[in-house]
Amino acid sequence: MLRIHFTGVDLARVRVAGRPDALWETILSFHRLRDRRDVRLFGEWRTETRTRLNGETRLLGALIPARGYFPDFLTPVEGRYGMELGLDAVLGTRAHRIRRETALLAPAGQQLPTRLREFHEGGPQQLTRLATELRRYHRAAVEPYWTHVQAQIEAERAARGRALLDGGADELMSSLPPMMRWRAPVLECDYPVDRDVRLRGRGLLLQPSFFCRRTAVTLQDPELPPVLVYPAAAQLSTAYPREMAARPAEEHRYRTLGKLVGHTRSVVLRAIGDGATTSELARRAGVSLASASQHAGVMREAGLVTTLRHGNAVLHTVTPLGAALLRGGAVAS
């Protein structure tokens, strides 16, 4: 179990990331690629990704074990601002940090495997090779699905924001997925090892992730800015659309976009705003509860809306595609 200890100052400084982190999604997707579980969600994605992968990933395989620790320098804070900025930060990693963190990958009482030892001692050329592998892998495994990943993280943020507005920081922490349990002032998380993290007034960034599964993930180095990466609840919801689970979003969107015509659905899409439950949506759009649910379902199939469960209700949020259509007036009658 992972136990994260909060002070009152830490609780006031909890933030929920507003976008996916490119490097965390890339590294965690590499775990999913080698994992045979969650076939319903990731089976087709694995097949499509392996078909596109024609580059070298042996260094990634050495640095990212199937389970357990992987070096913190693979996920710098710059990754939340995009893949290229994240890779620039990886390329700037100091040699002493590379040696310290890769040394932790050695089996107990043994030397590092040959490939890791070469990286450990290789200097800038090895970092360039790593950045090249990461970029190629990201383009094959993550980039084609990025709009869908982004929609899931934005929906998760909307749900956590709703919890914060409804009940404050305590409600926010209590609303996190079931593998995390808020027992104030400690957040307990399912975790591969027993560990305590003390925030010491620095607060915590909650980073929802599409490719994170089952357990939350945090950095090994307690001196780095605290971050907790956890599975976005949207992918765990019964409202999650199976047919969009592991495919590039565009393929499904354009098959169903033709359903989305007429003034009423334009009004309903606009009424969702920054997020709305079905009841709120019906009230804002001036339609019945059943009609609001039906219209939201069609727009979810078209990739314009994401739906996830929030307590006893469901919360609808507009995806990037839906927002783009609204900005361009493409959904008007």
Q: Are residues 57 and 103 in the same domain?
A: yes
Residue 332 lies in a domain: no
217 shares its domain with 204: yes
Average per-residue pLDDT for the chain: 85
- Are 200 and 306 part of one and the same domain? no
Q: For residues 32-60, give the mean pLDDT.
A: 88
Tell me the pLDDT tens digit for each residue of 286-332: 888 888 888 888 888 888 888 887 667 788 888 887 877 776 654 44
Mean pLDDT confidence for 110-137: 86
Query: Given 146, 164, 199, which residue is the final one in a domain?
Result: 146
Taking the C-alpha atoms of residue 278 and residue 288, their distance in angstroms, rounded to an integer, is 10
pLDDT of residue 245: 45
Least confident piece of the model among 15-24, 87-96, 98-107, 223-232: 98-107
- What integer pLDDT is reported at residue 234 of this predicted model? 52
Q: Same structural domain for residues 100 and 136?
A: yes
Residues 152 and 90 in one domain: no
Amino acid found at 280: E
pTM above 0.85, yes or no: no
- Domain end, chosen from 219, 236, 253, is at 236
Q: Say if 333 falls within a structural domain.
A: no
Q: Write out pLDDT tens, residues 219-270.
A: 999 999 999 999 986 544 433 344 444 444 444 444 444 445 467 788 888 8
- Show which of 126, 146, 166 is a domain's final residue: 146
The answer to the question of residue 116 being in a domain is: yes
Q: How far apart are the first and last CA of the chain?
A: 53
One domain for residues 228 and 284? no
Please report where in the chains the tokens 């001692």 appear, as a residue: 121
Residues 31 and 77 in one domain: yes
Q: Please check whether residue 305 lies inside any domain of the structure.
A: yes
**Do residue 202 and residue 155 come from a single domain?**
yes
Q: Which of 131, 160, 170, 142 is nearest to 18 (CA)?
A: 160
Q: What is the pLDDT of residues 5-32, one digit of tens each?
A: 999 999 999 999 988 999 999 999 999 9
Kindly calculate the radius of gyration of the chain based on its CA atoms and give it in whole angstroms.
21
What is the CATH classification number for the domain harbouring 321?
A: 1.10.10.10
* Residue 275 pLDDT grade (very low, low, confident, very high; cuts 50, 70, 90): confident
Range of the domain at 255: 242-327
Q: Same structural domain for residues 48 and 131?
A: yes
The DSSP bridge partners found for residue 310 are 313
Please indicate, yes or no, whether residues 30 and 135 belong to a single structural domain of this protein. Answer: yes
Amino acid at 3: R
pLDDT at position 96 over 70: yes
Residue 288 included in any domain: yes
Considering the domain boundaries, does residue 105 fall inside one? Answer: yes
- The residue whose two tokens read 């914060």 is 164
Count of structural domains within the chain: 3
